[in-house]
């Protein structure tokens, strides 16, 4: 039996993030590891669209089971791969964050997708491959006699998941890309992606930000397991940089303290991770310095407290400024991200954000920043706000493919007091404020 796990490239017309191709696809690596631990004779191949073109991937589809990881901007490529695989006789499985958001619509609209997996996919994928009774497999949507069935959803304790294996991935292209992208700003040469937690603690406590969809319950690994995974990668490749892509790395100061205290003396990689500004104080900064943190990414979003409050982010301008100063004082790079077009955006709030960007850049430790215009993603409160408008609901209800720029236009027209073209010009100009610019779904149209 052969299994192919695919991370398709983003569709044409949009810029990728700055680190594209520099890190292995951690979600597919985790799936491959879990399946490989139980089905030893299964041939598993990972096809990564950050290294391969869509055409190259499509030409290589030949497995009994083909699983695709759907994100917002690669979804249409996912559909193309599933259609080709189905025509060749493969069973097709779609998972990933975007698939979880529109799972029912996919099953109703795309007959060539056999299963959709919501939330954690490891156990569900293994059960499908083993041919277990599908009605008993958690997290799965399936069809039977023309009807779509939705099974209950569960999350997996991180202690039950094995550490990611590198048997299924050639890391050399990622190391080459990492060094190429960061050679001018970072001495490190070999990096891995990992996660110390899954889910978002803020979302569990508050219901989450209005631009995020409800997701998996927050869970965190034991510090010893984090170091064990880093030690494995270090012994194999001599890695010297770690991107922890957890939603928030700094959710628990007690956990960070334990991570620092259990750090082996022979391991000292540099770290990049996400944090919330309210978590950053003098003590947390000291701990991050001891951990050898290189860069911290914070979703700043806006320079206006009313916008931040309306978006339910739990962030305050004052906390953002304190975090930025503490990072600068401790030689930690600050990677701020900004979202223009949040509910209530106007010329004054944009001006406040631009003024904040100038302030943050002036500290001298912002080498990279991200900027984008709000995407009203399915499953989020802001998408529901948009669908409450009858003419928009009539056009998009039940759909699984969207014209994202048209949705942005509808959103800005109805919920902002500034034009979309103005926001595009601002986003473009902000990109020049740092050495490395990035952005989620910055359209090149």
207 and 82 co-located in one domain: no
CATH number at residue 267: 3.20.20.70
Name which of 186-190, 314-318, 329-333 the model is least confident about: 186-190
CATH number at residue 122: 3.40.50.280
Does the pLDDT of residue 44 top 70, yes or no? yes
Does the pLDDT of residue 444 top 50, yes or no? no
> Would you say residue 318 lies in a domain?
yes
> Would you say residue 107 lies in a domain?
yes
Task: Enumerate residues 6+ apart whose C-beta is below 8 A from 232.
Answer: 163, 166
131 and 222 co-located in one domain: no
Determine the pLDDT at residue 440.
55
The pLDDT confidence band at residue 309, using thresholds 50, 70 and 90, is very high
Structural domain ending residue among the three candidates 101, 132, 151: 151
The boundaries of the domain holding residue 304 are 184-438
221 and 367 co-located in one domain: yes
Structural domain ending residue among the three candidates 104, 127, 151: 151
Say how far apart CA 299 and CA 76 lie, in whole Å: 27
- Residue written as token pair 């010893």: 224
N-term to C-term CA, the chain: 42
**CB-neighbour burial class of residue 40 (10 A; exposed 0-12, middle 13-18, buried 19+):** exposed
Q: Are 323 and 334 contacting, i.e. CB atoms less than 8 angstroms apart?
A: yes
Tell me the pLDDT tens digit for each residue of 81-133: 999 999 999 999 999 999 999 999 999 999 999 999 999 999 999 999 999 99
- Mean pLDDT, range 250-272, rounded to an integer: 96
Determine the pLDDT at residue 442.
45
Listed in sequence order, the DSSP H helices in 132-219 are 172-182, 201-206
Determine the pLDDT at residue 16.
60
Phi and psi at residue 400, to the nearest 5°: -120, -10
229 and 277 co-located in one domain: yes
Give how many domains the chain has, as a whole number: 2
- Mean pLDDT, range 248-270, rounded to an integer: 96
Determine the pLDDT at residue 184.
74
Name which of 95-99, 119-123, 204-208, 311-315 the model is least confident about: 204-208
97 and 236 co-located in one domain: no
Neighbours of 38 (CB within 10 A): 13
Q: Whose CA is closest to 61, among 136, 125, 8? A: 8
Does the pLDDT of residue 230 top 90, yes or no? yes
What's the chain's average pLDDT? 94
Does the pLDDT of residue 13 top 90, yes or no? no
> Would you say residue 222 lies in a domain?
yes
> Would you say residue 158 lies in a domain?
no
């Amino acid at each position: 039996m052969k299994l192919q796990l695919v991370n398709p490239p983003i569709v044409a017309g949009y810029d990728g993030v700055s680190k594209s191709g520099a890190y292995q696809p951690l979600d597919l690596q985790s799936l491959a590891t879990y399946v490989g631990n139980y089905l030893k004779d299964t041939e598993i191949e990972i096809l990564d669209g950050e290294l391969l073109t869509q055409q190259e991937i499509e030409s290589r589809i030949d497995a009994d089971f083909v699983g695709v990881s759907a994100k917002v901007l690669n979804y249409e490529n996912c559909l193309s791969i599933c259609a080709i695989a189905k025509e060749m006789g493969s069973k097709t499985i779609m998972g990933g964050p975007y698939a979880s958001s529109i799972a029912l619509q996919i099953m109703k609209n795309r007959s060539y997708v056999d299963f959709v997996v919501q939330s954690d996919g490891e156990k569900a994928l293994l059960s499908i491959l083993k041919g277990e009774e599908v009605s008993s497999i958690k997290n799965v949507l399936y069809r039977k006699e023309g009807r779509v069935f939705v099974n209950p959803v569960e999350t997996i304790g991180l202690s039950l998941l094995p550490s990611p294996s590198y048997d299924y991935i050639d890391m050399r292209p990622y190391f080459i890309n990492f060094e190429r992208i960061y050679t001018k700003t970072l001495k490190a040469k070999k990096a891995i992606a990992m996660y110390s937690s899954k889910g978002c603690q803020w979302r569990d406590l508050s219901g989450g930000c209005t631009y995020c969809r409800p997701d998996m319950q927050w869970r965190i690994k034991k510090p010893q397991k984090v170091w064990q995974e880093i030690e494995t990668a270090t012994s194999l490749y001599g890695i010297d940089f770690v991107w922890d892509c957890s939603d928030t790395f700094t959710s628990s100061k007690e956990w960070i303290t334990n991570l620092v205290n259990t750090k082996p003396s022979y391991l000292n990689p540099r770290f990049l991770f996400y944090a919330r500004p309210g978590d950053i104080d003098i003590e947390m900064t000291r701990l991050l310095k001891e951990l050898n943190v290189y860069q911290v990414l914070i979703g700043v979003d806006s320079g206006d407290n009313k916008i931040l409050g309306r978006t339910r982010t739990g962030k305050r301008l004052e906390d953002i400024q304190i975090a930025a100063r503490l990072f600068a004082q401790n030689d930690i790079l600050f990677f701020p991200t900004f979202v223009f077009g949040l509910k209530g955006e106007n010329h004054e709030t944009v001006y406040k954000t631009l003024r904040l960007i100038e302030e943050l850049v002036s500290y001298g430790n912002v080498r990279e920043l991200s900027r984008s215009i709000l995407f009203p993603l399915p499953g989020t409160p802001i998408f529901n706000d948009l669908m409450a408008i009858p003419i928009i609901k009539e056009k998009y209800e039940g759909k699984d493919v969207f014209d994202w720029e048209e949705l942005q236009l509808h959103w800005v027209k109805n919920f902002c007091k500034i034009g979309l073209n103005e926001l595009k010009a601002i986003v473009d100009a902000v990109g020049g404020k740092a050495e490395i610019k990035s952005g989620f779904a910055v359209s090149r149209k």
